[in-house]
Amino acid sequence: MLKTKDFYLLKVYDIRGKYLGIVDDIYINFHQGTIEGFFISNYLLFSKKNFVKTKDIISLEEVIIVKELSKKAGLSFKSIKDMDIKDKNNVMRGILEDLIIEKRDLSIKGLVMSSGIFDRMIKGKEILLLKQCLLGEDFILYYGSDEVRLQSLPRKKKYVSL
* 70-86 pLDDT tens trace: 988 889 999 999 999 99
pLDDT for 117-156, tens place per residue? 777 677 778 889 999 999 999 999 999 877 666 766 555 5
- The CATH homologous superfamily of the domain defined by 2-77: PRC-barrel domain (2.30.30.240)
User: Which residues in the chain are classed under CATH 2.30.30.240?
Assistant: 2-77, 79-152
Alpha carbons 73 and 27: distance in angstroms, whole number: 7
pLDDT band at 157 (very low <50, low <70, confident <90, very high): low
Alpha carbons 101 and 99: distance in angstroms, whole number: 6
Judged by DSSP in three states, 91 sits in: coil
| Cα angle value 61/82/5 (rounded, 5°) | 15
The pLDDT of residue 40 = 92
pTM: 0.83
The type of residue at 56 is D
Alpha carbons 31 and 41: distance in angstroms, whole number: 26
CATH number of 79-152: 2.30.30.240
DSSP state of 116: -
pLDDT for 6-43, tens place per residue? 999 899 999 999 999 999 999 999 999 999 999 998 87
